[in-house]
Amino acid sequence: MRRRKPSGKGAVRGLEKGTPRRDARGAPFRPERNPAPGQPERGRTDGRYWIYGHHAVRAALANPRRRLSKLLLTAEAEAELVAEVAAARGRLGDRLSVARATREELADRLGREAVHQGIAVEAWPLPSPALDIVLAGASPDATLLVLDQVTDPHNVGAILRSAAAFAAAAVIVTQHHSPPETGSLAKAASGGLEQVPLIRVANLAQALQSLKKAGFWCLGLAAEGADPLASANLSGRIALVLGAEGGGLRRLTREQCDLLVRVPTQTGLVQLNVSNAAAIALYERARDQSGGAGEPDPA
């Protein structure tokens, strides 16, 4: 007769092969695996997720608007971030727990694909600011980026990184058909998520109307644009509107743009990635603001 393996209440614990790993406090380490790098953990309903990587975590620790729960870091990362960790603990007190972890433990928690660099912090998503408040505080030469259903978190993160580099006032996305705030998005943003407001709007066409009422010149980037970007007047308040790869700008979005422009390439067979197009457009805008010089003025 074949013996059945113990199960349910009669199962015998502690007979598994090998010795369970221990966490920094000596307790058995129980990995809480994410479905994908930086996504909210299974069963988590309050929106918390893991931000990982040196630049992203450092920026999160320094952001007074960011609510943080738990910081995990290797001994090497702890030695590099003494001042940042001390400042965050001073700001958050007991609301932030700090524990040492091995790289293996971080990989178990975040997923094997996550390039965590020995550090991760559990955080709540940042609140999305209201569009009218951002518009009311925008400078006379403010730059906005508007993304029409760009769904790839790596692209949105890379665009936030470029927006931070060129001092854009905000990035506007749709509530639907745009990625939520996750670890992979924060990692791609490399700190830009903490610096540039990410505004979510229910209706993009109406949002563009609000931008135009606030004095923004809305330029839609499209491969079939009649004029190259460099020939457009990029002075004053500018909103650069970019569509998803493949589909591009939707019809209603196009109709709300004041002008459709293109980024010229050497061959019509290759289309730029949307984050690359955003970086080029931001640089061209900065170059125009500096009077057409080869280098934009430093901030």
Residues 144 and 272 grouped into a single domain: yes
Residue 79 is part of a domain; what is its CATH number?
Answer: 3.30.1330.30
Residues 70 and 214 grouped into a single domain: no
Residue 17 lies in a domain: no
Predicted local confidence at residue 3, as pLDDT:
46
Asked if 188 and 157 count as a contact pair (C-beta separation under 8 A), the reply is yes
Give the separation between CA 184 and CA 29, rounded to whole angstroms: 24
Give the separation between CA 104 and CA 160, rounded to whole angstroms: 30
Q: Are strands 68-73 and 119-123 parallel, antiparallel or unpaired?
A: antiparallel
Residues 95 and 170 grouped into a single domain: no
Sheet of 49-52: strands edge to edge? 49-52, 119-123, 68-73, 97-100
Residues 171 and 254 grouped into a single domain: yes
Which of left, alpha, beta for 266 (phi over 0: left; psi -120 to 50: alpha)? Answer: alpha
Q: What domain count does the chain have?
A: 2
**Cα-Cα end-to-end distance for the chain:** 79
pLDDT averages per 10-residue partition of the chain, 299 residues:
44 38 46 47 69 95 94 92 91 91 91 90 94 96 96 96 97 94 95 97 96 96 87 91 88 94 76 91 89 55
Q: Are strands 227-228 and 238-243 parallel, antiparallel or unpaired?
A: unpaired
Domain boundary among 74, 101, 123: 123
Domain boundary among 123, 145, 173: 123
Residues 106 and 175 grouped into a single domain: no
Predicted local confidence at residue 289, as pLDDT:
78
Residues 110 and 207 grouped into a single domain: no
Asked if 233 and 141 count as a contact pair (C-beta separation under 8 A), the reply is no
Predicted local confidence at residue 293, as pLDDT:
54
Residue 88, domain extent: 34-123
Q: pTM for the full model?
A: 0.81
Give the separation between CA 210 and CA 49, rounded to whole angstroms: 32
Residue 243 lies in a domain: yes
Token pair for 76: 């090497």
Residues 184 and 119 grouped into a single domain: no
Residue that has been written with the tokens 């019809």 in this structure: 251
Asked if 144 and 199 count as a contact pair (C-beta separation under 8 A), the reply is no
Token pair for 86: 């001390």
Residues 152 and 65 grouped into a single domain: no
Residue 164 is part of a domain; what is its CATH number?
Answer: 3.40.1280.10
Residues 104 and 212 grouped into a single domain: no
Residue 196 lies in a domain: yes
